[in-house]
Amino acid sequence: MKLNRKQFLGPDSEFCRFEKAAVAVLPFPYEGGVSYGHGAGGAPQAILDASGYVEFYDEVLKAEPYRMGIVTLAAPAMPKTPAAVHQQMVRSTRALLEQNKFVVVLGGDHSISSGYFKALQERYSTLGCVQLDAHSDLRDSYEGSRFSHASVMARIREMTPHTLQLGIRAMCSEEADRIRREKMALCTMHSLRKKLCNWKIMLQNLPEHIFITVDVDAFDLSVISSTGTPEPGGFTWDEGLDILHTLFRTKTVVGFDVVELAFNRYDRNSPFNAAKLVYKMLGFKLEKEVSQGRISWPATPSGPLFSSQP
């Protein structure tokens, strides 16, 4: 495995050695599936650069999650066709899962998530997917492509009926029809804010093992402004973290990705906040393992930590 020259957070080298690390961060700088704004290809590097300024200590957890070991891989070369990119994602994530890593993928546009989901499903046959996003991404194809970022949940729904979509505030009428017809677990931002849907019950109905895909456009523009297809009215930082914390506490999260950040040389906030989001989520994962007695603080880099790995 080729390591990245820039390691997530940039800790001492003993905390980012491949053999000992519990977590593997995979940058996947693909933006062939975007429809509007560009820059997703530059996002993984921007997140890694910004991560060097994230504090190691989490004042809420009162711990340093990086001590579990977080190794950052070199980004794979991006193939020419969308189908080949999908296969590349399956191969890259499968290889890391076989090494018992907890894998975090840094996108890249949203089309990449179905490849990671596929690799996870080879190990967890009953796997749910929770999506935080402004868009429902349920079009069967968009602008002639089934690998569009606007179709990623349609692809994932071909692999599992167990999905939960949160924060949605942009869809077309065909998507709305499909959501009703298939009685999908989907909470629009409107229904969340008006307390018209009980997403925690929907979450409980998912399988024990879940994959989380975070499209950063789920967040309000005060958190993430540089994203390919922005929508107003997103989650505040605290709202988003509260939901994510509940996901990690309620279920066994077996992997996640953070996608759709757009590189913008004039915006330092968005990549920093994306980096901090990844680190907070890793802290939630570690906290869950500690709460179940699988490991104890302070975590030390000791290889696979997660008994959720078969």
Smallest distance from Mn ion to CB 223, Å:
14
Smallest distance from Mn ion to CB 134, Å:
5
Indicate the residue among 217 and 287 with the shorter CB distance to Mn ion.
217
Smallest distance from Mn ion to CB 220, Å:
13
* Near Mn ion in 134-163, by CB under 5 A: 134-135
First to last CA, the chain: 21
Q: Does 217 bind Mn ion (CB under 5 A)?
A: yes
Indicate the residue among 121 and 136 with the shorter CB distance to Mn ion.
136
Closest CA to 28 of 71, 84, 85, 97: 85
Sign of CA dihedral 60, 66, 69, 73: positive
Q: Which of 215, 239, 257, 289 binds Mn ion (CB under 5 A)?
A: 215
User: Residue 73 to residues 148, 250, 292: CA-CA distances in angstroms?
Assistant: 25, 29, 29
Smallest distance from Mn ion to CB 228, Å:
8
Closest CA to 55 of 6, 104, 102, 11: 11
Stretch that binds Mn ion, among 101-109, 126-134, 270-278, 291-299 (CB under 5 A): 126-134
- How many other C-beta atoms lie within 10 A of the C-beta of residue 1? 14
Query: DSSP for 43-54?
Result: HHHHHHHHHTTS
Indicate the residue among 64 and 137 with the shorter CB distance to Mn ion.
137
DSSP code of 216? G
Stretch that binds Mn ion, among 7-15, 130-138, 156-164, 279-287 (CB under 5 A): 130-138
Rounded-to-10 torsion of CA 263, 267, 271, 274: -110
CA distance 309 to 257: 17
Q: Which of 58, 64, 109, 133 binds Mn ion (CB under 5 A)?
A: 133
Indicate the residue among 93 and 227 with the shorter CB distance to Mn ion.
227
Q: Does 175 bind Mn ion (CB under 5 A)?
A: no
Indicate the residue among 50 and 134 with the shorter CB distance to Mn ion.
134
- Residues making contact with Mn ion (CB under 5 A): 133-135, 215, 217
